[in-house]
Amino acid sequence: MNERRVLLELFDAALRAVDGRACTARFLRDAKLPAPVAVFAVGKAASAMAMGARDVLGDALHSMLVITKHGHSDPDLDRGPRVLQLEAAHPVPDERSLAAGAELESRLAGLPPDVFPLFLVSGGSSSLVEVLNEGVSLGDLRTLNERGLAAGWDIAALNAERVKLSRLKAGGIARLLGARRALALFISDVPTDDPGVIGSGLLGRAGTGVDFIERHIVGSVDTAVRTVVEAAQARGLAIEARAHRFDGDAAAVAEEFLAALRATHADGLVWGGESTVTLPEIHGRGGRNTHLALTIVRKLNRGERLVVLAAGTDGTDGPTSDAGAVVDEQSADRATLAGCDVERAWREFDSGSALEAAEDLVHTGPTGTNVGDLLIGIKQVAGPLRGGALPRML
């Protein structure tokens, strides 16, 4: 058995289970929305979710505004009528984020009374679309995001600060809608799957008043975890799922996962969640998943027959184009032979460079979803490890 390939196949199965297009279409087929419908999609999975809405709505589609991360837009949407697709910056907002916010606010203000609004929201929305409070500058917003990312704030702490600068966060869209009926579908990347937290609460409830927005989670990391277990069973493997989601410091998560993987009597272990890293002022290439993976590399014992995947379901790890990595006890040797000092790379948060040298990085490209991160580990059967370059996932 090629354990590394099996891990990639399990990860791919999980991505398919929480695909934004499929999750959105599945819900809307039974929703029976009043026509015509205006679609507002925001987040890393916005284009995929919008495609799912277009698949179902057909001629009932009045208009569509899609705001997504640079490089994550779907050109098929641009070929359709009445669609405007915008790209903005993530994880630190830029001028495009403000332009996207202005377009969203303008469209909501001018929406005809007979048109039903449908919102499709996924992770990354906080950075991608923004309307600032009076007296707040883009520089203020960027500084806040950069400080929070460098300090390793969790999503709750970062959102608590973001809402102080924003007219859209913490229920801003609900306030714009007033008493208007609407439907909001979410692909969740937050620990509690709370619509009031996803995208810093763009579609959260506005204050204590009653609104008329119907909210549903259509995809989460729990679905991805269950799919890994089922896909492993189909391959004759028993994979144990951890009951709670992981969060907190990536290095600490790595150690906890490795201890649990060593202890389980199953063939492997899967865990979903989202870790954090606290970056020094000067750091190298990488993200929370590659730092987590490199921590595991440092903790694996010589000859220990464990293989671990750590990857983001959105296909990106922090500011990189890497989704994550698959590592084993020979990863350090491969990196060293390629001229990389693994200990230096770990200390300087240059994990991406070390794992690239080991040919351990995973690349998926934009996945059309974003439910957080997955850790999957399996115990190897007898036989030599194959440490060559990983196949690129399509």
DSSP reduced 3-state for 232:
helix
DSSP-based three-state secondary structure for 78: helix
Identify whether 48 is part of a domain. yes
CA distance 115 to 61: 10
Does 265 lie in the same domain as 237? yes
Of the chain, the percentage scoring pLDDT greater than 70 comes to 95
pLDDT surpasses 60 at 361: yes
Q: d(Cα 9, Cα 126) in Å, to the nearest integer?
A: 31
Same domain, 188 and 300: no
pLDDT of residue 207: 66
Instruction: Give the residue from 192, 219, 246 where a domain finishes.
Output: 219
Give the pLDDT band of residue 169 (cuts 50, 70, 90): confident
- Has residue 87 got a pLDDT over 50? yes
Residue 149 pLDDT grade (very low, low, confident, very high; cuts 50, 70, 90): confident
Least confident of 27-41, 70-84, 298-312: 70-84
Tell me: pLDDT of 164 over 50.
Answer: yes
pLDDT of residue 387: 39
Task: Supply the pLDDT for residue 382.
Answer: 41
Instruction: Tell me the average pLDDT of the chain.
Output: 91
Residues 147 and 195 in one domain: yes
pLDDT in tens, 12-22: 999 999 999 99
Answer yes or no: do 188 and 57 share one domain: yes
End position of a domain, from candidates 187, 219, 251: 219
pLDDT at 388 over 60: no
What is the number of structural domains in the chain?
2
What is the Cα–Cα distance from 34 to 117, expressed in whole angstroms? 10
Q: State whether 143 and 255 are in the same domain.
A: no
The two three-digit tokens of residue 265, written as one number: 């009597």
Q: What is the spatial distance between Cα 173 and Cα 201, in angstroms, rounded to a whole number?
A: 9
Query: Does any domain span residue 312?
Result: yes
Average pLDDT over residues 320-337: 97
88 pLDDT band, cuts 50/70/90, is very high
Domain of 276, CATH number, reads 3.40.1480.10
Angle at 149 between CA 128 and CA 71, to 5 degrees: 35
Residue 308 pLDDT greater than 50, yes or no:
yes
Residue 393 lies in a domain: no
Average pLDDT over residues 116-134: 91
**Residue 206 pLDDT exceeds 80:** no
Does 392 score more than 60 pLDDT? no
Q: Which helix (H) or strand (E) holds 186?
A: strand 182-187
Distance of alpha carbon 8 from alpha carbon 5, whole angstroms: 5
Residue ending a domain, choose from 219, 252, 270: 219
Closest CA to 373 of 257, 201, 267: 257
What's the farthest any 2 CA atoms get from each other in the chain?
67
Instruction: Give the closest residue to 225 by CA, choosing from 382, 1, 10.
Output: 10
Q: What is the pLDDT of residue 214?
A: 95
Co-location of 153 and 45 in the same domain: yes
- What average pLDDT does range 172-196 have in this prediction? 92
Residues 103, 85: contact at Cβ < 8 Å? no
Three-state DSSP state, 261: helix
Q: What CATH number should be reported for the domain holding residue 32?
A: 3.40.50.10180
My answer on whether 123 and 201 are in the same domain is: yes
- Lowest mean pLDDT across 4-18, 47-61, 270-284, 289-303: 270-284
- On the question of pLDDT at 301 being above 90, the answer is yes
227-258 pLDDT, tens digit each: 999 999 999 999 999 999 999 999 999 999 99
Residues 188 and 214 in one domain: yes
Q: Burial level of 321, CB count in 10 A (0-12/13-18/19+)?
A: middle
- Let me know whether 191 and 65 are in one domain: yes
| Banded model confidence at residue 266, pLDDT cuts 50, 70, 90 | very high
Pair (260, 183) in one structural domain: no
| Residue 114: pLDDT band with limits 50, 70, 90 | very high
- Domain membership of residue 282 (yes or no) is yes
**Domain limits at 56?**
19-219
Write down the pLDDT at residue 208. Answer: 58
pLDDT of residue 209: 65
Q: Is residue 114 part of a domain?
A: yes
Instruction: Single out the residue of 271, 292, 289, 276 nearest to residue 378, CA to CA.
Output: 271
**What tokens does 335 get?**
């990196």
Phi and psi at residue 258, to the nearest 5°: -65, -40
Please check whether residue 345 lies inside any domain of the structure. Answer: yes
Q: Burial letters for 133-168: b for 16+ Cβ neighbours within 10 Å, e otherwise? A: eeebeeeebbebbeebbeebbebeebbeebbebbbb
In a domain, 386, yes or no: no
How far apart (Å, rounded) are the C-alpha atoms in residues 192 and 203?
15
**Does 379 or 156 have the greater pLDDT score?**
379
Are 46 and 86 contained in the same domain?
A: yes
Q: Is 38 domain-assigned?
A: yes
Q: Clarify whether residues 65 and 169 are in a common domain.
A: yes
